[in-house]
Structure 1
Amino acid sequence: MKNINIQTSFISNNNNSQNFTISTKSLTNKTNKCNSSFTNSTLIYTNRTLETKVQCIGSLYNQSCLFQNLYYVDNTFTILIVKGSYLPEYSIRTNAFYMWPTKPNKREFDSYVHLQIFVRNIVKPRRIPYVTLYFGQLWLWNIGHALFDGLYPAYVALIRFSPRHLHPFRILADVGECQDCWSEDVYSRFAGLGLIKQFVLNKLSKGRFLSNNWM
């Protein structure tokens, strides 16, 4: 274990967000999660385990993206990155009938130290384990639409990131409430790790950060 004493401050790049000030505190890291070394009085992180990473496959017209450490707060996906970090150009449609792409919010930090303090000491996100496959679906009560407008294209996107499609995953579905829709049971059984409806996740994310690997 390493204790790193840091005195710094963080100001969100979101104009509507509050400002945070962090006084000298002890920041504890597990060495197997975040290796660090000092070079010319500069702290260098060799494994940025909390920063958002994006990997995309395909053209913008037909693109699938895997987000590692993507955060969700107040009904909104949020990317946390260090200034200057590379993000690929991406355009993601999560519903077969929505013509506009989904764009997460983005927060940039001056250094990984600032990002790490924000995540571990301020927002303390609740971690959702394993990969979550996200898509929107209309007419959930109709199994034909549920399979071919929702599950099928989403699973094809997951196959592009082989071998993740061979392991159990979770589905996050932007669907409405539906009494006795057996399509939900099909989704849950097919994925292996169950189904989360987005309106339920929205309630959990009120004023609280959640983090996961999302597709």
Structure 2
Amino acid sequence: MTVPAATSVRRDVLRRRIRWLVAATITYNVIEAVVAITAGTIADSIALIGFGLDSVIEVSSAAAVAWQFAGPDPERREKVALRVIAGSFFALAAYVTVEAVRTLIGAERPEHSLVGIVLVAISVVVMPFLSWAQRRAGRELGSASAVADSKQTLLCTYLSAAVLVGLVLNSMFGWWWADPVVALGLAVVAVREGREALRGETCCSPVRLDERDGGVRSNGDCGCPPGCTDTCCTGETR
């Protein structure tokens, strides 16, 4: 009788942890969006404005997970949350592609912005931690949406790094084309992650917590077929 109770307690702890991490992600991205869009408008920088809009997309993805875990039965809301997250990936890919192409053909070029460089540099440090913590909790709980949202956050980290490289190279050497070229590569990754989230392939299901580890799920309990390479089994990002 004590084992199911321990498992239930562990799942409650993981759900609370995910809610806190999602709340932190939303709060940070709202601040990031306001600062980036303001700085980008002042500097006429499409790269910074796009970075700010990417933060808005990340908020929508995190909000979907927050909505899911706000209910008494998060598993029942998971499919809807995954669709929202997949849509966020596709929206991000579409916007980045359009703006990168516009920049490359000479519509507008990223301008120097010290505020933007500092903001994006901070994001490169903060976002990987939030992504790792949420991915770890989501993997253990077996939540496909939580893991998918953590991948959205990680992808935004890569976009932050690309924007940072573009802003620095543009500021130092006038290499305005560096940001859009890297951004196009990230758009391809975003489409792939969106398709995986839409198919619900981000995590294994069903999930069982390993009773021998006090409620922590082991790889052998993921419920996947032999040779599974999903993140819940391997503990790795794709």
Q: Considering fraction of residues, name the structure with more strand.
A: 1
TM over 0.5: no
Question: TM-score scaled by structure 1?
Answer: 0.30
TM-score (norm 2): 0.28
